[in-house]
Chains A and B, each alone.
Chain A
Amino acid sequence: MITAGVDLGSTYVKAVVVKDQERVGYGVAPTGHDHDVTSKKVLGSALLMAGIEFGEVDHIVSTGYGRRVTTLARSSISEISANARGVQWLGSELGIRTIIDIGGQDTKVIALDDDLQMINFAMNDKCAAGTGRFLEVLARVLEVPLDKMGPVSMRSRDPVDITTTCLVFAKSEVANLVFDGHRKEDIIMGIHKAVARRLVGMAKKVGVRDVVFFDGGPAMNIGMVHAMERELGRKMYVPEMPQIVTATGAAILAAEELQKKGK
C-alpha cells in the first residue's frame, strides 16, 4: 500500500510518501502564494524520490494550517494529531512523552500518555514571539541566512539578553544591539534563548515528561536545540528530519484510513 501525507505549513509545505510503513520519499518547499500548486509540486518531488507514479498512490491525507486549501487530499487531519501519529510511528522504544513543535507561525506542545496517545496540548498561534517567524524575521534584520543562525550562535560566549517580547519591538532592539557593536553570535544566541524561554514556559503549563521530542523546522537549528535544552534542564530527542514528522504522521494515518475502509 502506498500513501502520502502533505503538511501545508504557513512557511513550508512538506510531503512524505510511505510504502508499507516505510518512508520512501519526501519533499519540502516554501509555501509561496498558492498552497494548492505548491502542494502538488512538493508531492511530485517526493514521488520522484520514491520512484513512484502519482497514479500508484492509494490515498493522500493533508494536514497543517492550509490543509483545506489543497485539492490533492481526500481527507485532512489536524497537525496536532498528525504530529502525535508521526511520533508513534518513530517508535515507542524512544520513550517520548512530550512533543514540542515549532512551526513557522505557531507553536504546539503535546503531552502523550504511556501508550503515546495524546492527553493534552497547548498551542500558540496568536503571537509571533516563540514561533519560527521570530527567528526568520530577526535573521533578516541581522542579514544572516536562516540556516546559518544555529552554527553562528554556537560561537557565542556571552549571549545578550533580549528584553522585549513582541517581534516588532525585538526588531528594533536587535538593530540597536548591532548598532551598539554587540557580536552577531551573541545576539543570535540571545534570540534563541528568548524563543526557548517562551516555549519552555508554554511546555511547563502542559507538563513536561521525559523524553522531550523537538520537531518543526527550527529544530534543525543547533543553537535553538542548545538553548531549549539549557532552558528545560534536560536533553531532548531531535529526529533526523524534524521538518517532516507531521507529514509522515499524515501519510501513516492515510494508510490506516484505507485499511479501515478495506475491512
Chain B
Amino acid sequence: MKDMVTARGPYDLGVDVGAISTKVILLKDGKVVGNTIALTSMEPGKLVRELMRDLLDEKGLEREDIGYIVATGQGRRSVDMADLARTEITAFAKGAFFLAPDVEIVVDIGGHGIRVMRMGEMGIISDFRTNDKCSSGTGCFMDTMAMALEVGIEDIGERSLRSMVAEHVNATCTVFAESEVVSLVAKGKTTEDILAGLHQMVARKIVALVNTTRSKGKVLVCGGVARNTGIVGELEKTINREMIVPEDPHLVGALGAALMAPRRKDPPVSDTGRRAAMGPDVGKMTFLDRLLRWSG
C-alpha cells in the first residue's frame, strides 16, 4: 500500500510540445526509462494523452504510476493534464545542466526558433537570447530546404557530408533561400553541395548568435536540428571552442521538463545517472564517434 502522503507514482513524465514535434520522456529516479515522439497535431492535449498511453502500455505501467507531468514547449499550455508548465528556456537549461554540468552555453535549435542560454552557477540561467521572429536556421528552414531538394529530412545530414565543394548560399531568409536553392538546382549543382552550403550558412548564423554571449566556454547543442550531422559538423569546424551534442539532442527539453517534477529531492546529477539517461560517454564523444554511431 502506498503511503497517503506520497501517493504519487515513482515515474515522472516530461512533455515537450514543440512547433513541429512533440516529445515525451518517462523518467524514474533520474533515469530515462522510455521516450516517444510524434508530429505536433492541432490538438496537443489529445496527442500527449495518446503518446502517454502508448508509452505506459509499452512499459506495462498504469496511469497511477506517474507522479508528475511537466509540460514545456510552445504548446505547453494545451497539455491540460500537466501538473506544471515551464518555458522552453528553463526546461532546456535544466536538461542540459543535468547532462553536462560544466557547459556554459546551451544552444537549442528548435522547429520554429533558436535559443541560446548562458549558464551561471548551479545551472541557473544568467543570460539568454531567443529568436522566434525569424525561421532561418530552424527545423522549419531545414524542412523547407529538404522539400525543395526532394530529400527526406532524416537524410540531409548524411547527404551533405558527401559533398566535396560546398555551394555557397547567399540568402539567409527561408523564403529567399528556397528560391536560391531552386535556381542552384536549375544550374545543375548537386544536392550534396547545396545541402553542404545550406549547413554552412546555418552554422555561421548560429555561431554568430553564440558569439553575442561573449562567452568562450563549452557549448552544448541540442534541439531537433542538432540531429543533423551536417550542421553539427559545420558547427564543430567554425565554433572554435569545445562543443558537445548529446545522443538524443531533441529530447533535452522533455528531459528538463521531467526533471522539474516537484519531488522533494532533486534526482542526483551523477555520472552514472547521466550515462543511463543519455547513453554512454556523452561529452567524451568526438564528432567522428557520433558520425560512426549514427551512420550505423
Contacts and interface: CB of A to CB of B under 8 A. Distances in A.
A33 B176 contact: no
Interface stretch (A164-172, A201-209, A224-232): A164-172
Contacts of B135: 166, 168-169
B112 interface: yes
A166 B134 contact: yes
Interface string A124-159: 001110000100010000000000000000000000
Nearest to B141: A168
Contacts of B140: 168
Contacts, number: 34
Given A33-B186, A166-B133, A105 B112 contact: no
The CB with the most chain B CB atoms within 10 A, among A127, A166, A167, A169, is that of: A166
Interface string A20-60: 00000000000001000000000000000000000000000
A137 B174 CA distance: 13
B156 to A, nearest CB: 18
Contacts of A105: 176
B176 A168 contact: no
B204 to A, nearest CB: 13
B175 A133 contact: yes
A137 B175 contact: yes
Contacts of A33: 186
A167 B186 CA distance: 24
Contacts of A126: 171-173
B175 A165 contact: no
A113 B144 CA distance: 44
Interface in B137-159: 140-141, 144
Contacts of B134: 127, 165-166
Given A128-B176, A166-B133, A166-B136, 17 more contacts: A126-B172, A127-B134, A127-B172, A128-B173, A128-B174, A133-B175, A137-B175, A164-B133, A165-B133, A165-B134, A166-B135, A167-B175, A168-B135, A168-B140, A168-B144, A168-B174, A168-B175
Interface of B: 112, 133-136, 140-141, 144, 171-176, 186
In the complex, the 9 A-B pairs of residues with the closest C-beta atoms, listed nearest first:
A128-B175, A168-B135, A165-B133, A166-B135, A168-B174, A167-B175, A127-B173, A128-B173, A166-B134
5 contacts: A126-B172, A127-B134, A128-B176, A133-B176, A168-B141
